[in-house]
Amino acid sequence: MAPPSIPGATYVGSSKCSTCHEDVSHKFADATHAKLFADGGNAVETGCESCHGPGSLHVKAGGSIGTILNPTAETCYQCHLEKRGEFSLPNSHPIASGKMTCSDCHDPHAGNAVAEGGTSIDAINSSCVKCHTSQGGPYVFEHEASREGCTVCHNPHGTLNAKMLKARNSNLCLQCHYQQTTSTGDIYIGGRQHGGASGYLTRGGTCWSTGCHEAVHGSHVSSSLRF
Ligand code: HEC
Ligand code: HEC
Ligand code: HEC
Ligand code: HEC
Ligand code: HEC
Ligand code: HEC
Ligand code: HEC
pLDDT single digits (tens) 23-51: 999 989 888 888 877 665 555 678 899 99
Q: Whose CA is nearest to atom 20 of ligand 7?
A: 143
pLDDT over 80 at 197, yes or no:
no
Same domain, 98 and 143: no
Looking at the domain assignment, is residue 129 inside a domain?
Answer: no
50 shares a domain with 96? yes
How sure is the predictor about 220, in pLDDT bands with cuts at 50, 70 and 90?
very high
My answer on whether 39 and 98 are in the same domain is yes
* Residue nearest to ligand 3 atom 26, measured at CA: 112
Domain termination residue (choose one: 86, 104, 122): 104
Say if residue 75 is in the same domain as residue 149.
Answer: no
The reply to whether 99 and 18 lie within a common domain is yes
User: Which whole number is the average pLDDT over 168-172?
Assistant: 92
Domain membership of residue 128 (yes or no) is no
**Amino acid 52: pLDDT:** 95
Residue 117 has pLDDT above 60, yes or no: no
Range of the domain at 38: 14-104
Domain end point (choices 81, 104, 127): 104
The answer to whether residue 122 is domain-embedded is no
Within a domain: 226: no
Q: Which of 157, 159, 166 to mutate to test the pocket of ligand 4 (most atoms within 8 A of CB)?
A: 157
CB 86 within 8 A of CB 155: yes
pLDDT reported for residue 120: 54
Q: Classify burial at 84, counting beta carbons within 10 Å of its beta carbon; exposed 0-12, middle 13-18, buried 19 or more.
A: middle
Nearest-CA residue for ligand 2 atom 5 is 48
> Is 93 among the domain residues?
yes
Tell me how far apart the terminal alpha carbons of the chain are, to the nearest angstrom.
47
Task: Answer yes or no: is 112 within a domain.
Answer: no
Q: Which of 54, 80, 104 is the last residue of a domain?
A: 104
Q: Is residue 92 located within the same domain as residue 146?
A: no
Task: Tell me what the mean pLDDT of segment 112-125 comes to.
Answer: 58
Q: Are residues 97 and 21 in the same domain?
A: yes
157 and 93 together in one domain: no
CA distance 180 to 178: 7
pLDDT score recorded for residue 203 = 73
Over 60: is that where the pLDDT of 123 sits? Answer: yes
Q: Are 77 and 71 in contact (CB under 8 A)?
A: no
Average pLDDT of the chain to the nearest whole number: 87
Q: Would 114 be classed as within a structural domain?
A: no
Instruction: Quote the CA–CA distance of 49 and 171 in Å, as a whole number.
Output: 43
Q: Is pLDDT of 191 > 60?
A: yes
Whole-number CA gyration radius for the chain: 24
How many domains does the chain fold into?
A: 2
Q: Read off the pLDDT of each residue in 164-185 and give the average, rounded to a whole number.
A: 91
Residue type, 159: T
pLDDT at 38: 62
Residue 83 lies in a domain: yes
Same domain, 18 and 91: yes
- pLDDT exceeds cutoff 90 at 176: yes
pLDDT in tens, 55-101: 999 999 999 999 999 999 999 999 999 999 999 999 999 999 999 99
Please check whether residue 182 is in contact with residue 193, taking contact to mean a CB–CB distance below 8 angstroms: no
Amino acid identity, position 209 = S
Ligand 3: list residues with CB < 6 Å.
1, 3, 32-33, 36, 50-51, 71, 75-76, 78-80, 102, 106, 108, 112-113
Least confident range of 4-18, 28-42, 126-140, 210-224: 28-42
pTM of the shown model: 0.94
